[in-house]
Amino acid sequence: MVEAITIFQAIIYITMKKKRTKRPVSALTGIILSIFTENPFKSYNYKQVGHLLGVKDRAGRDMVMKIIDGMVEEESLNEIRRGKYMLNPQKLQELTSIKKHIIGTVDMMKTKKAYIISEEGGDDIYIATNNLGHALHGDKVKVFIFPKRKEHKPEGQIVEILERTKDTYVGIFEMSKKFGFVIADNQKMPYDIFVPINKANEALDGQKVLVKITDWPEHSNNPFGEIVETLGAPGDNDVEMKSILADYNFPLSFPKNVEKDADKIPTTISATEIKKRKDYRKTWTITIDPLDAKDFDDALSLVKLENGNYEVGIHIADVSHYVIPGTALDTEALKRATSVYLVDRVIPMLPEVLSNQVCSLRPNEEKLTFSAVFKMNNKAEVLNSWFGKTVINSDRRFTYEEAQEIIDTGQGEYSEEINILHALATILRQKRFNSGAINFHSEEVKFKLDETGKPIETYVKEQKEANFLVEEFMLLANKKVAEKIGKVDEGKTPKTFVYRIHDQPNPEKLNTFVQFLKKLGYSLNVSSRQTLASSYNNLFERIRGKGEETMIETIAVRTMAKAEYSTENIGHYGLAFPFYSHFTSPIRRYPDLMVHRLLEKYLEGGKSANRDVYEEMCKHSSDMERKAAQAERDSVKYKQVEFLLDKQGKVFDGVISGVSKWGIFVQLNISKSEGLIRFSELKDDYYYLDEDNYRIIGRQFGNMYRLGDKVNVLVKEVDMEQRQLGLAIID
């Protein structure tokens, strides 16, 4: 039997063949191929393939037939009889031979089993506990692949740890007379860390600590470690937030030499510097930011021109003027790469004197900026663009709530200017979606905290027109800056630049998502990039407010590639921009600072920068961005669970947000936190999982719980250490 190949391999195969056709390889091609590779001995006609894809229109079926014809021509498929097609095993045999070794990343389970995510794509490799070889979650490893058994997932053994990505962990120290163990908070760390008493460094039993792994003897079940910092008592808000930061290796303070560098920066602007710049100090300019923001890194200006058009300026804090390459300040900013936003605090990329004072575009203060200025007509068409160094003086600081009230009522200070910007932004937004941008929705859970940091109220932050106003002009600036450098005449090579890229969806994941939606009564049209984007947006509107909304949106996001930074531009799929960068937040994102430096260099006629140097910084920035997002999620999850700590024994409304072989997951409406109800806790019947229909069914009485059902649940247990809820359904 021929083993199924990965979609990634198949696309590479088709791409690398001799150029017998100029047909582009698309996500749809990969999805169609996945249907045949998953069923290598089954034949399909083009209508059956279209049905599996949810294609209902004639144009879509014609596209499917055209792609199938191309695949027959390329000998990926055989036409076994008129109109019936099957995978061609002979021509794809070379792709099915699994290499004996692969390189990948460890995805550790609580059970001390793991899966390896291969760098080459394809199926994850299962690793049994006794084959881990002391590898830990996130490690880069070399894996020996076992011969594949029929109907089993690939299995292997880790033979070498190539890169240990983490050697410090936060946890509770449990001490005996001569030694102790640290039980890690991180659930991806299933081993307790052994600490000899002389390595405890005065930590006390029950305290939360930061431990560093120093050794792991070959025949030891547990790694050995040394306590490097005592954080304090578990449950204390400050200790818990610092624990999250320490677990991701984010520094809790700036080194003294960095603070010293920052303190030397002048807080006033010289007349000489102002003369070098375009002067916008008398141009109407405002900032719009969250209520609690202090780092105002973007401002908007507006001038109504005599011909009826508008000049809109997007003015960004000129951080590159103050943070010079090679200084301690710059080295630390690159190391951090991003500001980290936890529930109750910000860990800034730059010291406060810069982030909240010198570079922050505070009202009625002269500030140095780097600007993108556009002349636009009332159809929001950009007629002219200018980029350069400027100086501004903001007239007013608005919160989003204040700007929204002006948009809603049409009244208030500067209402005319704000509503002109709103009208232009609305047109830009509609154009973007018409061009194929995907309108992903995400709920941002926020908290009101008391003086000790305890959450006393939760709410979902709502995005409104004022948010969209700012967002659209920031997107415009980011897009136009990227086009300025990356869009060159045919035959010319663009200069090295930092792009924000987003690849098209993984075909295999997209196919799985399409099949998942069909079982829930929804569909996606994947016949083209444009129809897929439109189909996604229609889907999000259809599920709005329904029980399955959260789960579907979560899975939809997972079908997408992750956005990242790179010097190799492939465009931004989700925004439908062929050129896109990050220019608008240099106070809190290092890639934006890189973009400012490169843009200034090229505007002055400079030569192309070293691509390898910038690519390495892009990779580091992408890694740090992911870590920051994980830390932020951890802090939210901790507060969600903490909010329910004094609510044990109370009943709340919820919705079934997931079903699994362990039980059902319920998301509480009050806090958006999620808990598991195990089958064993459902006492009214013996339940089994109907996986295909996302429900559980009672064998004796036929009671049924389905994804999206509304339920009432009792909060039985709140486990702060594991950050988990124990729930029970109440009839």
pLDDT tens column, 670-729: 988 989 898 888 888 899 998 877 889 999 898 999 888 889 999 999 988 888 899 999
- In the structure, what pLDDT confidence band is assigned to residue 365 with cuts at 50, 70 and 90? very high
pLDDT of residue 636: 94
* pLDDT tens, position by position, 469-490: 999 999 999 999 999 999 999 8
Per DSSP (E only), the strands in 462-583 are 499-501, 564-566
Q: Which residues of 240-265 are buried (b: 16+ CB within 10 A; e: fewer)?
A: bbbbbbbbbebeeebeeebbebbeeb
Say how many CA atoms lie within 13 Å of 728 toward its Cβ.
14
% pLDDT > 90, the chain:
61
* pLDDT tens, position by position, 257-310: 999 999 999 989 999 999 999 999 999 999 999 988 888 999 999 999 999 999
The Cα 679–Cα 568 span in angstroms is 49
Residue 416: CB partners within 8 Å, gap ≥ 6? Answer: none
Which ranges in the chain are annotated with CATH 2.40.50.140? 101-163, 644-730
Q: Would you state the structure tokens that stand for residue 590, as one six-digit string?
A: 């290092």
pLDDT of residue 345: 92
Which ranges in the chain are annotated with CATH 1.10.10.10? 7-96
Question: Average of pLDDT values for 50-78?
Answer: 86
CB 198 within 8 A of CB 180: no
Q: Would you state the structure tokens that stand for residue 249, as one six-digit string?
A: 């290796």
Q: Does domain 7-96 have CATH number 3.30.420.10?
A: no
Backbone angles phi, psi at 392, to 5 degrees: -130, 170
pLDDT of residue 334: 98
Question: Average of pLDDT values for 625-641?
Answer: 94
What global pTM score does this model have?
Answer: 0.83
Sheet of 278-280, strand order:
278-280, 382-393, 366-376, 310-317, 298-304, 285-289, 396-399
Q: Would you state the structure tokens that stand for residue 215, as one six-digit string?
A: 């050794």
Does the structure show a pLDDT above 60 at 96? no
pLDDT of residue 118: 87
- In the structure, what pLDDT confidence band is assigned to residue 437 with cuts at 50, 70 and 90? very high
Question: Average of pLDDT values for 514-527?
Answer: 86
The Cα 177–Cα 169 span in angstroms is 23
- Beta pairing partners, 678: 663
- In the structure, what pLDDT confidence band is assigned to residue 75 with cuts at 50, 70 and 90? confident
Give which of 190, 222, 201 is closest to 107, Cα–Cα. 190
Give which of 350, 278, 351 is closest to 315, Cα–Cα. 278
Amino acid at 60: G
Question: Average of pLDDT values for 447-470?
Answer: 92
Does the structure show a pLDDT above 50 at 535? yes
Does the structure show a pLDDT above 60 at 2? no
Terminal CA-to-CA distance of the chain, rounded, Å? 51
Which ranges in the chain are annotated with CATH 2.40.50.700? 168-247
Does the structure show a pLDDT above 80 at 6? no
Give which of 455, 484, 441, 485 is closest to 611, Cα–Cα. 485
- In the structure, what pLDDT confidence band is assigned to residue 32 with cuts at 50, 70 and 90? confident
Give which of 490, 482, 322 is closest to 387, Cα–Cα. 482
Angle between helices 507-519 and 549-559 (to 10 degrees): 160
Backbone angles phi, psi at 451, to 5 degrees: -65, -20
Give which of 195, 201, 202 is closest to 181, Cα–Cα. 195
DSSP state of 20: S
* pLDDT tens, position by position, 298-334: 999 999 999 999 999 999 999 999 999 999 999 999 9
The Cα 688–Cα 345 span in angstroms is 44
The Cα 73–Cα 93 span in angstroms is 17
Q: Where are the alpha helices (DSSP H) in 222-318?
A: 237-247, 256-263, 271-275
- In the structure, what pLDDT confidence band is assigned to residue 27 with cuts at 50, 70 and 90? low
Residue 708: CB partners within 8 Å, gap ≥ 6? Answer: 546, 547, 548, 551, 655, 656
Q: Where are the alpha helices (DSSP H) in 159-297?
A: 237-247, 256-263, 271-275
Per DSSP (E only), the strands in 318-462 are 340-341, 346-347, 366-376, 382-393, 396-399, 444-449, 455-461
420 to each of 39, 261, 394, 503, how far by Cα in Å? 56, 42, 18, 34
CATH number of 168-247: 2.40.50.700
Question: Average of pLDDT values for 575-584?
Answer: 97
Residue 678: CB partners within 8 Å, gap ≥ 6? Answer: 662, 663
- In the structure, what pLDDT confidence band is assigned to residue 612 with cuts at 50, 70 and 90? very high
The Cα 721–Cα 637 span in angstroms is 12
Q: Does domain 101-163 have CATH number 3.30.70.100?
A: no
The Cα 65–Cα 45 span in angstroms is 9
* Lowest mean pLDDT across 274-283, 374-383, 494-503, 525-534: 525-534
Using DSSP's 3-state secondary structure scheme, residue 274 falls into helix
Looking only at the bridges linking them, the beta strands covering 101-108 and 140-145 are antiparallel
Question: Average of pLDDT values for 340-354?
Answer: 95
Architecture of domain 644-730: Beta Barrel (2.40)
Does the structure show a pLDDT above 90 at 520? no
Does the structure show a pLDDT above 70 at 16? no
Q: Would you state the structure tokens that stand for residue 10, as one six-digit string?
A: 């198949």
What is the average pLDDT value for the chain, to the nearest integer? 89
**Number of neighbours of residue 719 by Cβ within 10 angstroms:** 12
pLDDT of residue 151: 58
- In the structure, what pLDDT confidence band is assigned to residue 90 with cuts at 50, 70 and 90? low
The Cα 211–Cα 196 span in angstroms is 12
* pLDDT tens, position by position, 174-211: 998 889 999 999 889 999 999 999 999 999 999 999 99
Residue 148: CB partners within 8 Å, gap ≥ 6? Answer: 3, 98, 154, 155
**For the purposes of burial, counting CB atoms within 10 Å of the CB of 381, is it exposed (0-12), middle (13-18) or buried (19 or more)?**
middle
